[in-house]
Amino acid sequence: MRQIVLDTETTGLDPDEGHRIIEVAGVEVQNRQLTGRHLHLYVNPDRDSDPDALAIHGLTTEFLSQYPRFEEVADQLVEFVKGAEIIIHNAPFDLRFLNAELGRLGLPAFESLCAKVTDSLLYARELHPGKRNSLDALCERYGISNAHRTLHGALLDSELLADVWLAMTRGQDSLLMDFADDVTQTASDAAGAFDASALRVLPADADELAAHEAYLDTLEEAAGKPALWRALSAAQQVHEDSVA
């Protein structure tokens, strides 16, 4: 599925108090690869940012005054996200602002424009319970450099979050990456034409076994629970011992 990793910057914390979006950006991911395609828009909010918000993003009223208003760029945003899975860190915050902006224009809610919205903060909390799961904390945890992030910016943050998301979710398909290719090759063979007994059996050596155990340790740390492989292996060993 096509995915868009999205972020916004705003003039404050609450759209019900008249705060507005001032920056929105998203980067495209297709088949777990960054495509290089992105959207980046600065927006003139026709108001000042709260001092606390300004200290975070650094986008002054004077700087933003040269850019179009949200109604002038809404079509670009709608077209970019249409039909995609949208990944947002702390999604409820951004969705409130996006829906407020779209609502002013009589447009449908943001969630109805895309296939689904995934909250990467919620995902991270389930994966790492009891730990800090801010974007900075996740960058540190997954070894992603954010040294150039002195201020929050929608494009930079969406790029960092895309790297974090791919790192957080790599365990979902890593064990099955080669399986589809194997199935395709097997299906292409005529029925009964493949003789498994002709295959050479090459036992893993000590280094390979150690690397396998280290990989399972990594999976268990990321998932916060025992790896299925180890559970099945232990059950198989118990069965073999019982019939020996």
Strand partners, 119: 88
Measured CA to CA, the distance from residue 152 to residue 77 in angstroms comes to 20
Residue 172 to residues 62, 90, 165, 207, Cα–Cα distance (Å): 45, 21, 12, 25
Taking only Cα atoms into account, the Rg of the chain, rounded to an integer number of angstroms, comes to: 24
Strand partners, 125: none
Measured CA to CA, the distance from residue 33 to residue 31 in angstroms comes to 5
Cβ atoms 158, 7 nearer than 8 A: yes
Which amino acids are annotated catalytic? 152
